[in-house]
Structure 1
């Protein structure tokens, strides 16, 4: 698997880079951001935390806005930030709306044509991309992984983490879509990518996964109470209720006055990285 390095910059003693490679799962070029802490640059094998971004984002949003590198350097955590969907597939309607198609892969494996030929972000994140890392970065310890994300990416972190607890030893999320089967963003995406059979949706719905027996270690969620999407699209109370019913440990922190933006993420990113470090170090 050939990697093309797009950029590299020294950052807090580590290396912040963007890479591109050909993805079989996503039928074309995919980019990801990787921060390697100074310990990894020196050749030490260090844990990996993957951050999944939200609607309209690329691999760059978290990288340049969240301010994660300082604490990641201190803790010795590699930070991976993949793109949010395949690009340039030539599918009719791919670029017509912000919440479906380009920039809106929803971290699932589409089963409906024409999306099923490329929109396979679940297996890209959980299978193909770790294989790319294993072949190219000896300093990444894939036996110690955590996963986190924001909004659509928070949905991805919860579902991928819950379905693969042997791989992802820690999970956290900012403003996640916790019950996509019950909100407009998720219903639109699931219908388009997965079809009308709602039973197939449950594999990509964190609330449904918890109620069906999927488990993880303690999950941390931060949610701003001034988030403009809170009542219609996010509905954290549904996931909290499911976790209480199922006995899944959850710390849901409602943060007064915070919205859906990266200012919110930047405020609490240190807490999340330390949450992951507790499980991975």
Structure 2
């Protein structure tokens, strides 16, 4: 599992996020952006963040280190803002912590990227069906001269349809993805997308997906009808990711 640390102080909200993430400090002396389990988007966003962060790292992209943040009800008692206090109370337990990158700034398109980097981000988003990397909200940071991909919660949205059961991985395998407003569309088209696709498929595998799902805490893997255990939920995610990897249509549609 990703490392677990304990929140020692709530510092400030990040009000630009719809789910009201916040800056917190933890007992490992780290500072993190906390994605709260009690936010309206639910636990599955935390699962997507963890999986896609791991995929990004396997593909050679920079993304902040993750931890599980143990939040106690005592933290909420010292918060004067009622909205934030309610969120903290609803989030007692394990939350997701994303390493805070001090001094980073948003990608504006003026920074030249190394060959293949834009295409790799593009491939990752197509594979995960990420709908949230547009010019309106790039979810890309520049830190110490390097590009960092962040905020993966809008990926893998197939799992939001699991309220009636897991369903068929083949549907996700064939799911089209629109690249029309992707922030790196033009830069990606200048890369060798065929080579990027071949490399990604050589790096990822069912075994890799199994390793990545082992990083997800049991507490975030809520059972659905027909799957009553965390390990069963992990297996379902692996099936969906592997089915997508074996398919080619979703990539051919955006890479041509």
Per the normalisation by structure 2, the TM-score is 0.30
Work out which structure has the larger RCO, using CA pairs closer than 8 Å and 6 or more positions apart in sequence: 2
Per the normalisation by structure 1, the TM-score is 0.28
